[in-house]
Amino acid sequence: MEYPLVSFITVNYDHPEVTLDLLATLRQITYPNIEIIVVDNASPNDDPSILKSKYPEIIFIQSSVNLGFAGGNNLGIRRSRGKYLFFINNDTEVNPDFLEPLVSKCESDPKIGAVSPKIKFYSQPDTIQYCGQAPMNHYTMRSYGIGHGVTDRGQFQIDSQTHFVHGAAMMVPRSVIEKIGLMPECYFLYYEELDWCSSIKRAGYQLWYVHNSEILHKESISTGKLSPFKTYYMNRSRLLYLRRNVRGITFLIAVCYQIFVAIPKNLAYFLLKRDKGHFKAYSRMLIWHLKNLFSKEIHLNPSL
């Protein structure tokens, strides 16, 4: 096969030791034509300079402010040169031969707009996190990963089209980004890759899960599994996805569901649990949406 240049882009925010583990595995891959771009998102506590000192071959970008997941990746996109751009979480580790099947898949059909490998949990390497994703429920703004939490017994050993690729590990052709634009930066965290996938599909491309490529994912090291920080951004982004991607009567029904069911239910849950941190985070999220109810900026997409 030919080996077009692949640009790996990963965002670091504190915990440089986690990113170092990823870089160690990327250094061992068998694919011969890559560049690695590490964007530090203004880490407030840990010194990220160790990344460049231990891996001088990387392209290191130091942001002066925290731009969020999308903004950090967009810095990397603007610096990249590859025909394919591989967005990979810094809390992942890869197998040496994982990249060839993904490149081969993209090279096989110009209609392919993004691909993701099989993702397993680092702490339970026989357990699946992702083998594709179900469609978004446009009322609840929720989806689910196919195979999530299931022991891998070879039951997902076929490539398949999917509704979303996974933000922890997704490869996108540069030509697609040139057409649809960069990641939407209004999200800051969560749902930005789902929104991006929706734009890719609307542009006429396909999304694929590739079965014979695997990575391991440590998940939620930066934000915490149940932190108020995550509650704020996850729920803010869920409503942003609704506002940006749902139209017509479905939009009206979805808004009614959120106002009369989901929002009261979540607020009541945090109150009954006497969880002030999550209650305040959820309330701040609602206030943000009210303040930005008529904002045009949330519908903008930066261009390459």
Kindly list the distances between the CA atom of residue 301 and the CA atoms of 77, 89, 157, 227, in Å, as whole numbers in the listed order.
14, 22, 36, 28
Domain segments of the chain as ranges: 6-217, 228-299
Residue 225 has pLDDT above 90, yes or no: no
37-74 pLDDT, tens per residue?
999 999 999 999 999 999 999 999 999 999 999 999 99
Would you state the pLDDT for residue 2? 84
DSSP, collapsed to helix, strand or coil, labels residue 229 as helix
Residue 170 has pLDDT above 80, yes or no: yes
Give the model's confidence band at 303: pLDDT under 50 very low, under 70 low, under 90 confident, else very high: confident
The CA radius of gyration of the chain, in Å to the nearest whole number, is: 19
DSSP, collapsed to helix, strand or coil, labels residue 3 as coil
Average pLDDT over residues 282-289: 97
Task: Let me know: does 186 contact 300? Beta carbons within 8 Å.
Answer: yes
CA angle 63, 17, 190 (to 5 degrees): 55
92-120 pLDDT, tens per residue?
999 999 999 999 999 999 999 999 999 99
Tokens at 45, concatenated: 């506590």
Would you state the pLDDT for residue 20? 97
Phi, psi of 129 (to 5 degrees): -100, -40
Would you state the pLDDT for residue 37? 98
Residue 224 has pLDDT above 70, yes or no: no
Residue 222 has pLDDT above 70, yes or no: no
Average pLDDT over residues 233-247: 96
Residue 147 has pLDDT above 70, yes or no: yes
Any bridge partners for residue 216, and if so which? Answer: 93, 120
Residue 164 has pLDDT above 70, yes or no: yes
Residue 256 has pLDDT above 70, yes or no: yes
Compute the distance between CA of residue 59 and CA of residue 8 in angstroms, rounded to an integer: 10
The mean of the pLDDT values for the chain is: 95
CB hemisphere CA count around 33 (13 angstroms): 13
Give the model's confidence band at 219: pLDDT under 50 very low, under 70 low, under 90 confident, else very high: confident
Residue 221 has pLDDT above 60, yes or no: no
| Cβ-based neighbours of 38, under 8 Å, separated by 6 or more | 10, 11, 12, 19, 23, 48, 51, 52, 58, 59, 60, 61, 90
Residue 260 has pLDDT above 60, yes or no: yes
Q: Has domain 6-217 been given CATH number 3.40.50.740?
A: no
Give the model's confidence band at 220: pLDDT under 50 very low, under 70 low, under 90 confident, else very high: low
Alpha helices in 93-247 (DSSP H): 99-108, 174-180, 192-202, 228-245
Tokens at 93, concatenated: 């580790």
